[in-house]
């Protein structure tokens, strides 16, 4: 109790020399707050710090508040589109475009030729129409928003037919049936989990039916005794009954994935050629851009959807538009090698192995022994489910403690290095590490094992 009575006041501490230095760097209000918090901690513990320890705690409190919670990490997991790590890393051109527009006024909703107000979703329209052949396009903040918006605008209070085996759950526990119900549309399930036929759709049509919805299985596989209906037959059923055909495509590929030695993933263009009325897809998956949702299809439907009041709630900002425009420009000029995810997907096993060997050699020079092993990378991010790419990983066996503790030490590096654990060993996959991050990986491993 006597020690607590001896606690200095906030005012006294703010007059001390360490406070003067901190105030010059961080401002008086923040330093005062940190001092108050540290003194409160000492009162709760009924124990006082030394002056040196107290000011160390004050500075740590300030740094804790000022340190950005969103910061770069090195993805050495081997999962290319890692949702928890931000999915697709942007191309350098997209990052530069974002930085270039961020601190300036822009033509977001202004046409400098006419001097009149413009529409932000028109800024990307020409690019997207050229690349996909769509009659009209729109951009919102993610694919789930695109699906919610089109169902709300086109099917509220009416029936939408969907195959039972396509009622997927997307990232974060959000389930497609819940998204559909939120739109006000009545979902009519047809078929079974593993088999749905064309006649199932046709038999479910009633006077209240407004659309058939196809949901691409972009984040799971059903194998074995299965059957589903492709888009062309669904389009024929929709035309016969004067219904809309809507497609939640998900992954948003513009390129032929088989050309990269991968399994076939339906492209946006393929859906449009199959006579789909509206297609919804992501921009941050196989397109390799920023988080956004894309709509493609009939001009009258896109216009109707984007005039719905909900469109304003899911619109994108200038930074997303800048990044997406720069990403699409790389497709326009066929500069696919500048899109990081396509570089990762197309990198040969020999190249990955050479990089892993270079890490091993550099670590050996530092007195750190690691092994190399054959493994598999994955696409991830709700794209190309089940697809595996051969890779070579650096394998680290902990000298002391377990693999979990070693992984923690790698995460404590600045920037954090994120790997994975297999059989109590830590694996680092070069395929998902960006070209300028090799030094970081070597430093992190050497530091974690020191």
For the stretch 259-308, pLDDT in tens is 888 888 899 999 999 999 999 999 999 999 999 999 999 999 999 999 99
Phi, psi of 168 (to 5 degrees): -85, 160
401 secondary structure, DSSP code: S
- Domains in the chain: how many in total? 3
Rounded-to-integer distance, Cα 136 and Cα 140, Å: 14
Same-domain pairing of 300 and 410? no
Same-domain pairing of 166 and 304? yes
Rounded-to-integer distance, Cα 246 and Cα 297, Å: 9
Rounded-to-integer distance, Cα 228 and Cα 222, Å: 10
Q: What is the pLDDT along the chain (450 residues), one digit of tens a residue?
A: 556 677 899 999 999 999 999 999 999 999 999 999 999 999 998 888 899 999 999 999 999 999 999 999 999 999 999 989 999 999 999 999 999 999 999 999 999 999 999 889 889 999 999 999 999 999 999 998 999 999 999 999 999 999 988 776 665 556 777 877 889 999 999 988 788 888 988 999 999 999 999 998 755 555 555 678 889 999 999 999 999 999 999 888 999 999 888 888 899 999 999 999 999 999 999 999 999 999 999 999 999 999 999 999 999 999 999 999 999 999 999 999 999 999 999 999 999 999 999 999 999 999 999 999 999 999 987 677 778 899 999 999 988 889 999 999 999 999 999 999 999 999 999 999 999 999 999 999 999 998
Same-domain pairing of 355 and 408? yes
At residue 410, the pLDDT reads 97
**Rounded to 5°, angle at Cα 248 from 286 and 297:** 95
At residue 3, the pLDDT reads 60
At residue 178, the pLDDT reads 80
Same-domain pairing of 276 and 374? no
Same-domain pairing of 12 and 109? no
78 secondary structure, DSSP code: S
Same-domain pairing of 15 and 99? no
87 within a domain of the structure (yes/no): no
Same-domain pairing of 229 and 319? yes
Rounded-to-integer distance, Cα 429 and Cα 420, Å: 9
Same-domain pairing of 355 and 329? no
At residue 305, the pLDDT reads 97
How many angstroms from the chain centroid is the CA of residue 65?
Answer: 25
Same-domain pairing of 327 and 366? no
Q: H helices of 74-182, where?
A: 92-102, 125-132, 143-155, 176-182
Name the token pair of 162: 């969907």
Same-domain pairing of 108 and 186? yes
For residue 280, the surrounding DSSP H or E stretch is strand 278-282
Task: Decide if 151 contacts 185 (C-beta within 8 A).
Answer: yes
Report the candidate in 445, 378, 436, 450 with the shortest Cα–Cα distance to residue 417. 445
Final residue in a domain of this structure, among 317, 336, 355 = 336
Final residue in a domain of this structure, among 313, 336, 359 = 336
CATH code where residue 289 lies: 3.40.640.10
Task: Decide if 280 contacts 146 (C-beta within 8 A).
Answer: yes
Length of the chain: 450
Task: Decide if 331 contacts 342 (C-beta within 8 A).
Answer: no
177 within a domain of the structure (yes/no): yes
At residue 341, the pLDDT reads 95
Rounded-to-integer distance, Cα 17 and Cα 23, Å: 10
CATH code where residue 438 lies: 3.90.1150.180
| All residues at 6 or more sequence positions from 5 whose CB lies less than 8 Å from its CB, including other chains | none
Rounded-to-integer distance, Cα 382 and Cα 367, Å: 40
Q: Is 428 in a helix, a strand, or coil?
A: strand
Name the token pair of 426: 């830590």
Rounded-to-integer distance, Cα 139 and Cα 131, Å: 15
Report the candidate in 292, 251, 346, 33 with the shortest Cα–Cα distance to residue 146. 292
Final residue in a domain of this structure, among 336, 362, 377 = 336
Pairing of strands 293-297, 278-282: antiparallel
Same-domain pairing of 360 and 289? no
428 within a domain of the structure (yes/no): yes
> Where in the sequence is the domain holding 13, given as residue range(s)?
2-66
Q: pTM value?
A: 0.90
> What's the pLDDT tens digit per position in 69-128?
999 999 999 999 998 999 999 999 999 999 999 999 999 999 999 999 988 988 999 999
384 Rama class: left (phi>0) / alpha (psi -120 to 50) / beta = left
Same-domain pairing of 443 and 295? no
């Amino acid at each position: 109790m006597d020690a607590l009575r001896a606690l200095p006041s906030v005012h006294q501490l703010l007059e001390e020399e360490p406070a003067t230095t901190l105030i010059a760097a961080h401002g008086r209000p923040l330093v005062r707050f940190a001092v108050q918090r540290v003194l409160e901690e000492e009162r709760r513990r009924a124990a006082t710090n030394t002056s040196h320890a107290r000011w160390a705690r004050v500075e740590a409190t300030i740094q804790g508040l000022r340190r950005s919670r969103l910061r770069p990490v090195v993805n050495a997991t081997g999962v290319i589109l890692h949702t928890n790590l931000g999915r697709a890393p942007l191309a350098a051109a997209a990052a530069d475009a974002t930085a270039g527009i961020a601190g300036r006024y822009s033509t977001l909703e202004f046409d400098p030729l006419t001097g009149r107000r413009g529409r932000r979703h028109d800024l990307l329209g020409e690019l997207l129409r050229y690349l996909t052949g769509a009659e009209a396009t729109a951009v919102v903040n993610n694919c789930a928003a695109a699906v919610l918006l089109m169902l709300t605008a086109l099917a509220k209070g009416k029936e939408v037919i969907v195959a039972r085996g396509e009622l997927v759950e997307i990232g974060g526990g959000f389930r497609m049936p819940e998204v559909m119900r939120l739109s006000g549309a009545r979902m009519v399930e047809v078929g079974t989990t593993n088999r749905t036929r064309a006649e199932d759709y046709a038999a479910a049509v009633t006077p209240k039916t407004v659309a058939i919805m196809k949901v691409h299985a972009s984040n799971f596989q059903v194998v074995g005794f299965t059957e589903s209906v492709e888009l062309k037959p669904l389009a024929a059923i929709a035309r016969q009954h004067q219904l809309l055909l809507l497609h939640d495509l998900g992954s948003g590929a513009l390129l032929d994935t088989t050309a990269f030695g991968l399994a076939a993933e339906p492209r946006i263009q393929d859906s449009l050629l199959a006579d789909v009325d509206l297609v919804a897809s992501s921009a941050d998956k196989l397109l390799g851009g920023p988080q956004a949702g894309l709509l493609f299809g009939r001009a009258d439907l896109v216009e109707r959807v984007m005039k719905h009041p909900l469109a304003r709630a899911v619109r994108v900002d200038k930074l997303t538009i800048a990044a997406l425009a720069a990403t699409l420009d790389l497709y326009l000029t066929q500069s696919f090698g500048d899109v990081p995810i396509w570089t990762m997907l197309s990198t040969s096993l020999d190249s990955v192995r050479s990089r892993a060997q270079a890490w091993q050699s550099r670590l050996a020079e530092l007195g750190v022994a690691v092994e190399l092993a054959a493994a598999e990378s994955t696409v991830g991010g709700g794209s190309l489910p089940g697809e595996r790419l051969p890779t070579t990983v650096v394998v680290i066996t902990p000298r002391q403690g377990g693999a979990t503790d070693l992984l923690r030490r790698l995460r404590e590096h600045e920037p954090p290095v994120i790997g994975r654990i297999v059989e109590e060993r830590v694996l680092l996959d070069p395929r998902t590490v960006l070209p300028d991050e090799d030094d970081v990986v070597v430093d992190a491993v050497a530091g974690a094992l020191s």
